Amino acid sequence: MARHANPFPRPSVPEVTAASGARLLEGGAIAEEIRTAVAEDVATFTAARGRPPGLRVVIVGKDAPSTVYLERILRGCAKVGIDAGFVELEGEATGTRVTSTVRELNKDGSVDGVIVQMPLPPTIRLRAVIDAIDPAKDIDGIHPLNAGLLRLGYDGFLPATAHAAVEILRRSGIGIEGRDAVVIGRSAVVGMPAAFLLVREDATVTVCHSRTRDLAGHVRRAEIVVVAAGVPGLVTGQMLRPGAVVVDVGINVVDGRIVGDVDFASAREVASAITPVPGGVGPLTNALLLTHLIRAAERQAPVPPSIAQPAHSRGDR
Ligand code: NAP
């Protein structure tokens, strides 16, 4: 397996030092670029394999708050020609029912990627469900095998949000190598993978969490701050080092509005670059998920001998 492989070429890296009104790092345009490339890959795959790449999302409980997110994924897939659908289980479904559904999808040759929509009802043992996902179809990188590959610096599937948090920096030409970075949040799906990805990009990384004693002190020293805590307004401009680059992963609803974990108004006065919420990491997350799916599909689906291309013309991603 390739080590330290990145799915996209490394852009040129201008230095970011001055704080004269932050540059907005918007995910929309980058996501559009990615979707255009994915649509081409999907067309090539479909022509070669005689079927489109397939994604299934397992959702437990009709009123799950994640329904909006799910609809967004399905719409994004439809736009680029991916065969996406969901398997809906009733809210009272047992853990065994969820894992057996996942195992059926693992066996289905027309399904290349499987996502289990979180959060699951508290009665279901999360670990058993995660373990049931075939790592080759785990396009959101939650299976321990993929988490381990990331930890070791190998090329597995990355959790899409963490991937987006770092990819938005790379694609915006923000230098990461050698920088002091702070990640706030240590969850298995966002904080920790974002931290490992930053280390992989040669940043020096500190991970903060709810028991961190001097959060402001750590943030003050950081040139790059990635915030994934789920606490609105946790990071303010007063805490930031002038010229810092701020990636706000948080999604919170406050008074009916979606806001991040960063107090945007004060932070943008001090930072040199900042992601808005909404419109920053979010759009990129969904687009990157599509790239993970096409990669899973290309790795799994054998090419029928009648239409097989010479190996050198199929890029192994
Ligand atoms: P999570 O599992 O609840 O983890 C939150 C992390 O933040 C924990 O490690 C927690 O520390 C830490 N934390 C909480 N309060 C803190 C505080 N006051 N000071 C410092 N650290 C604190 O959440 P998650 O799933 O990682 O998600 C994080 C955020 O990202 C949420 O707002 C979520 O909605 C958002 N999100 C965004 C996307 C996207 O596409 N943009 C996707 C997924 C999630 P402990 O470990 O000590 O508890």
pLDDT in tens, 164-204: 999 999 999 999 999 999 999 999 999 999 999 999 999 99
Alpha-carbon distance values, 224 to 81, 176, 253 (Å): 36, 8, 25
Q: Please report the atom of ligand 1 found closest to the CA of residue 280.
A: 41
Q: Please report the atom of ligand 1 found closest to the CA of residue 285.
A: 40
Which is higher by pLDDT, 8 or 178?
178
Give φ, ψ of 259 to 5 degrees: -130, 160
C-alpha 43: how far from chain center: 23
275 Cβ contact partners less than 8 Å away, ≥ 6 residues apart: 24, 25, 26, 27, 168, 246, 247, 248, 260, 281
Nearest CA to ligand 1 atom 6: 185
The tokens for 277 are 């919420």
Handedness of CA 201, 249, 233, 17 (dihedral sign): positive
Mean pLDDT of 78-104: 95
Q: Ligand 1 pocket test: which of 69, 196, 209, 262 has the largest number of ligand atoms within 8 Å of its C-beta?
A: 209
Residue closest to 58 by CA, chosen among 50, 48, 46, 66:
66
Q: Is the peptide bond between 135 and the residue preceding it cis, with omega within 30 degrees of 0?
A: no
Mapping DSSP to helix (H, G, I), strand (E, B) and coil, where does residue 212 land? Answer: coil
The tokens for 124 are 């279901």
Nearest CA to ligand 1 atom 28: 228
Q: Which residues pair with 207 in a beta bridge?
A: 183
Tell me, in angstroms, the distance from the centre of ligand 1 to residue 228's CA.
4
Tell me, in angstroms, the distance from the centre of ligand 1 to residue 38's CA.
29
Tell me, in angstroms, the distance from the centre of ligand 1 to residue 186's CA.
7
Question: pLDDT tens digits, residue range 236-253?
Answer: 999 999 999 999 999 999
Mean pLDDT of 143-165: 96
Nearest CA to ligand 1 atom 47: 210
Identity of the residue numbered 152: L
End-to-end alpha carbon distance in the chain: 11
Residue 279 has pLDDT above 60, yes or no: yes
Residue 36 has pLDDT above 80, yes or no: yes
Q: Ligand 1 pocket test: which of 190, 247, 286 has the largest number of ligand atoms within 8 Å of its C-beta?
A: 190
Residue 317 has pLDDT above 70, yes or no: no
User: Is the pTM for the entire model greater than 0.95?
Assistant: no
Identity of the residue numbered 60: V
